[in-house]
Each structure stands twice: as structure tokens, then as C-alpha cells.
Amino acid sequence: MRFWPKEPFWQGVAVLVMAFLLIVFGIPYLPPLLGIPSAPIPNSVVVQYMLTALVGVLLWVSDNQTRWQQFKQPFHAVMVEERKKPIRMILLVLLPALIGFIAYGRVKPSLDAPPSFRAIHPAPPSSITFQGRTIEITGLENPLRTRGSLDDHYEEGKSIYYENCLACHGDLLDGLGHYSHGFNPTPLSFQDVGTIAQLAESFVFWRIAKGGVGLPNEGGPWNSAMPAWEEFLTEDEIWAVTIFLYEQAGKTPRTWEEHAEGGEH
Ligand code: HEC
């Protein structure tokens, strides 16, 4: 092999570089070419794999006395030999600079999103326009509860939920649908006592109809992925899926009387 170095030191370096490339690019990208699923590797795992590779290299170079001597030679040369002085000087500057850079990276203030100060349940508007019509939210009850059979509405709501909401809010209504991890804020769990259990159905109707874009400013700072369902569902369909949410999660909606007695969302 023409490009393969002869000195154990450079051989070791070459092995480590190849190991690094294999770990960082090979593991995530090669298996998919063969149709095997894979994923990017977290840094901590890269560090672990690299340490394993390093231990392997060290075992190999120290395996016999001659090779060990040859391996140590470049270190020795850089530290004492007169003609290696420039390299020595460069390393004397670069190494502390590198450590300083890493230390700086650790302590510098981060620009990440602050840990959520959003109001999850901002006050709903007193009325909304739904598909062009004005609907009063204040005092509004779910009309389907006094019309037809609850079982029918539940069944209809169920198929609406599984067609439209499952991917985000999850099979178990726990907010852990397949897409949920991609969103900030994450889809809410309807099992949680902090969500629909403490809301009136009119509030839930408003949220489903208007989605994330319909949230007032205090619902920020980050964009909610909750779609505005008035674009896809009829009024009755939204009421039906609301019934499904409460029945399936085993919660009862708050009523407007309870509200009047003094409760915030
Ligand atoms: C693309 C992902 C996505 C889909 C699909 C989705 N939601 Fe959401 N939903 C969210 C996110 C994210 C939130 C939390 C942020 C927010 O409140 O807007 C949310 C919040 C809600 C809330 C507010 C609950 C509360 O306590 O305030 C309700 C109600 C809701 N979704 C119902 C539904 C229904 C019903 C469907 C299906 C018709 C649905 N969602 C489909 C992402 C989604």
C-alpha cells in the first residue's frame, strides 16, 4: 500500500482517523444504502467509540518492544530535537489555545431557546369567526351533547381523531405521537390533568378550530405546530372529536357555571 505510513505513530493516527470517519459518517450513512435503518450518533457515543479505538491502537503499538520504541520516537523527537524546534513552538501555542477554546465553548452563554415561558392556556377570545360565521365562545356548550346519541358522536370523533390527530397527540392521547418529538412546544397530552380536564369544551373547540396560528401572543414564544382544523373539519366534526377526547381520556369538561364561580383556565 503506497499511502499507508510505515511508522507505528502515523499508522496509529491513520487508524484513529479512519475509525472516526467510520463512526461519524459510516454508521449513520452506510447501512441505509443497504436498506438497513440507522441514525446519527450522539457525541458522547462517538467519544466512547473513539476511546475504544485509541485503547486498541495503544495495545497494538505497545505489543512488542521495537514497535513501542518506534511509536514513542516522534514524541521524543518533538520534545527534545533541535531541528523540531519550530513544531515544538507551534504546539506550545496551539495546545493551550485549543484548551482555552474548549473552555470558552463550555462557559460562553448559550443562545438556546429559554425554557418555555409560554402561557399554555391563554384566555380565549369571546367570539371567533369560524369558516366565515361568527361564533360566540363565551357561554358556549357542545351542541352535540343534547343532540342525537353520544355513542354516535364518539364513534365519529374517534375516526376523525385517528385520521387527523394521531400522528401528533398519539394513540393513547398522551401527546407522544410519532411526530411529536419534532415539535416545540410539543403536542399536549389529553391524559394530563393540566389540559382538557381543566378546560371548557368551548375552549377546546376554539383551540382545535384555530390551532397554533390562532394563539394570542402570550401563547408564544415558539410556534405551535397545532393545525387550524377549521380548514379541514366542519363545526360538528370538531365538536365530535372533542367528545371523543373527553370520553377516551376519561375526563369531564368544565362547565360555564364552574367558570362563573371563579376559575381561570
Ligand atoms: C402537527 C401536529 C398536530 C396535529 C396533527 C394535531 N395537533 Fe393538537 N396540538 C399540537 C401541539 C404542538 C399542541 C400544543 C401547542 C398548542 O397548544 O398549540 C396542540 C394542542 C392541542 C390542543 C390544546 C390542548 C390544551 O390543553 O390547550 C387541543 C385541544 C388539540 N391540540 C387538539 C387536536 C385535535 C382534536 C387534533 C386533530 C383534529 C389535533 N390536535 C391535531 C400539535 C398537533
User: pLDDT tens-digit profile of 16-75?
Assistant: 999 999 998 888 888 888 888 887 788 899 999 999 999 999 999 999 999 999 999 999
Contact criterion met (CB below 8 Å) for 15 and 53? yes
- Residues 72 and 57: their CA atoms lie apart, in Å, by 13
Cell readout for 65 is 518492544
pLDDT in tens, 191-206: 998 899 999 999 999 9
Is the pLDDT at 116 greater than 70? The verdict is no
More reliable by pLDDT, 147 or 37: 147
Among 161-175, 219-233, 250-264, top mean pLDDT goes to 161-175
Sequence-distant (6+) residues with CB within 8 A of 137 are 124, 125, 126, 127, 128, 202, 203, 205, 206
Please give all residues whose beta carbon lies within 6 A of any atom in ligand 1, as ranges: 121, 164-165, 167-169, 179, 183, 185-188, 195-196, 199, 204, 207-208, 212, 215, 224-227, 229, 241
Pocket test of ligand 1: the residue of 117, 160, 163, 169 to mutate, having most ligand atoms within 8 Å of its CB, is 169
**Residue among 244, 229, 261, 254 at smallest CA distance from 121:** 254
